[in-house]
């Protein structure tokens, strides 16, 4: 049996929720290994909709252990709120089926204040952050002043660390005309929820080590997408963590040899939320049509997503950087009815043709897509459960994407319903 890491190959919002839920039913343990509550998954199970942002998708499945790994940043107030929301929907959550790594970093209220203030000061140069404190919390982690979950067990140390964090961030808040934050205020907010947070705390590395020895299946669940990776994405318009598969090991406390298959979730077209370069963005009728048919609004923020044609150059690059084994192609049905489909096969930058996504910001902005056109299909692909159910031109489109990205399709999703999935290669079955 194989352990599987699931990541997005584009700018997030590729439809990971359904695929991860489909896989989590077959897993014993589901681990979130990076990001915070800025990411969102919408799961539809037996007609009931669940919206998750920090909790792993396995939480809504009975008999699974869900782990929030050390590579995440955790807003403790949001975590409890999300737990309570799911409980109201009938989901059983307790320390028996949810663990939070003792070395995960905390997001404090001051982090969100700093995040929002910075974005306002950037004006037209804003990055597009969700304002939830993710970036400032990761900054504190790297600067070695962060509060980790384990620190909640010692109030004296906790108070000292909060004081240090508040003193640092208040410098910026005061300089930008914002009201300074009192350390005592944050401590008093935290105290009532500390016992509940600590009840979920554990050593994720130890649990995953035992799981490896006993041969349990582990699903590593990523957030966002490769092109939002802090190192490999469209910097500075990126998230504050590594989103590639290698982070699944680092961010959960296991070795890379314990991850056997990397599944890259890939939308059949391209979308992006917020600011940043987007070479294949379509501002005309086709882009509008994709957005309407695909219901392209963020799960967490509700922000409208920008839409455009499939960028094979970007996905191929993501596959090489992240070591993607197979692709899960989603939302193919959104392209039903298009007379002609476009695929980006290269860019022209300042008169020069290139077949990679450039690293420098100005070249990214100057990328003009070079398109290859293919005939669309008038038949529906919605709900298809076998290759025989797909129109011939849809199959040709899929095969061409495989050729251009050099990533074979392992799964094909044809609707939000989990049963509407065509399985080509089971990621959990080792080759």
pLDDT at residue number 418: 77
pLDDT at residue number 45: 77
Give the residue among 272, 288, 255, 219 at the shortest CA–CA distance from 25: 219
Tokens representing residue 236 in the block: 């500075």
d(CA 318, CA 234): 12
Q: Are the C-beta atoms of residues 204 and 67 closer than 8 Å to each other?
A: yes
Q: Strand (E) positions, 173-280?
A: 201-202, 218-221, 261-267, 270-272
Phi, psi of 131 (to 5 degrees): 75, 25
78 in active site:
no
Give the residue among 29, 57, 33, 55 at the shortest CA–CA distance from 44: 57
Return all residues near 289 (Cβ < 8 A) that are at least 6 apart.
338
pLDDT at residue number 405: 98
pLDDT at residue number 416: 81
Tokens representing residue 265 in the block: 């979730």
Strand partners, 341: 374
d(CA 415, CA 258): 31
Tokens representing residue 119 in the block: 């974005």
> Per-residue DSSP letters for 335-394?
GTT-SEEEEEEEEEETTEEESS--SSHHHHHH-EEEEEEEE--SS--TT--SGGGS-HHH
| Helix boundaries (H) for 102-203 | 109-122, 134-142, 155-175, 183-190, 194-199
d(CA 73, CA 137): 7
Grouped pLDDT means (10 residues each) for the chain, 431 residues: 93 88 92 89 79 91 95 97 95 96 97 87 70 92 97 95 96 88 95 97 97 95 95 94 96 95 97 93 95 80 86 98 96 96 97 95 95 97 95 98 98 88 90 63
Q: Please report how the helices 155-175 and 134-142 are oriented relative to each other, as an axis angle in degrees rounded to 10.
A: 120
Tokens representing residue 416 in the block: 């939000």
pLDDT at residue number 49: 85
pLDDT at residue number 47: 76
d(CA 361, CA 276): 9
Burial class (CB in 10 A: 0-12, 13-18, 19+), 47: exposed
Strand partners, 307: 271
- Considering the candidates 41, 78, 169, 232, report the single residue annotated as catalytic: 41
- Considering the candidates 13, 115, 140, 151, report the single residue annotated as catalytic: 13
46 in active site:
no
């Amino acid at each position: 049996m194989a352990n599987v890491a699931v990541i997005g190959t584009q700018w997030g919002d590729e439809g990971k929720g359904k695929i991860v839920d489909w896989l989590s039913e077959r897993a014993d343990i589901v681990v979130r290994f990076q990001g915070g509550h800025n990411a969102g998954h919408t799961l539809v199970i037996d007609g009931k909709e669940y919206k998750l942002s920090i909790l792993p998708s396995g939480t809504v499945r009975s008999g699974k252990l869900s782990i929030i790994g050390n590579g995440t940043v955790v807003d403790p107030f949001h975590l409890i709120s999300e737990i309570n929301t799911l409980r109201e929907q009938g989901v059983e959550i307790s320390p028996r089926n949810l663990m939070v790594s003792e070395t995960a970093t905390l997001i404090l209220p001051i982090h969100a204040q700093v995040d929002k203030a910075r974005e306002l000061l950037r004006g037209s140069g804003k990055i597009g952050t969700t304002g939830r404190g993710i970036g400032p919390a990761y900054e504190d982690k790297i600067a070695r002043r962060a509060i980790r979950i384990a620190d909640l067990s010692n109030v004296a140390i906790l108070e000292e660390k909060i004081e240090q964090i508040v003193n640092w961030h208040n410098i910026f808040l005061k300089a930008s005309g914002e009201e300074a934050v009192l350390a005592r205020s944050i401590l008093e907010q935290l105290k009532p929820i500390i016992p509940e947070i600590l009840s979920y705390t554990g050593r994720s590395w130890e649990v995953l080590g035992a799981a490896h020895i006993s041969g349990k299946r582990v699903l590593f669940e990523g957030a966002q997408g490769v092109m939002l990776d802090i190192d490999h994405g469209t910097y500075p318009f990126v998230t504050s963590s590594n989103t590639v598969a290698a982070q699944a090991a680092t961010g959960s406390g296991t070795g890379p040899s314990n991850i056997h298959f990397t599944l890259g979730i890939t939308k059949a077209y391209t979308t992006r939320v917020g600011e940043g370069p987007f070479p294949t963005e379509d501002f005309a009728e086709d882009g509008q049509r994709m957005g309407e048919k695909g219901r392209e609004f963020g799960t967490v923020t509700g922000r409208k997503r920008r839409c455009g044609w499939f960028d094979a150059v970007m996905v191929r690059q993501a596959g090489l950087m992240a070591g993607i084994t197979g692709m899960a192609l989603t939302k193919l049905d959104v392209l039903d009815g298009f007379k002609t489909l476009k695929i980006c096969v290269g860019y022209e930058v300042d008169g020069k043709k290139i077949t990679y996504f450039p690293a420098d910001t100005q070249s990214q902005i100057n990328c003009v897509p070079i398109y290859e056109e293919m005939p669309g299909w008038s038949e529906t692909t919605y709900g298809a459960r076998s290759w025989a159910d797909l129109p011939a031109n849809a199959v040709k489109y899929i095969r061409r994407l495989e050729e251009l990205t050099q990533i074979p399709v392992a799964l094909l999703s044809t609707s939000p319903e989990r049963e509407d999935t065509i399985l080509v290669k089971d990621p959990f079955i080792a080759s």
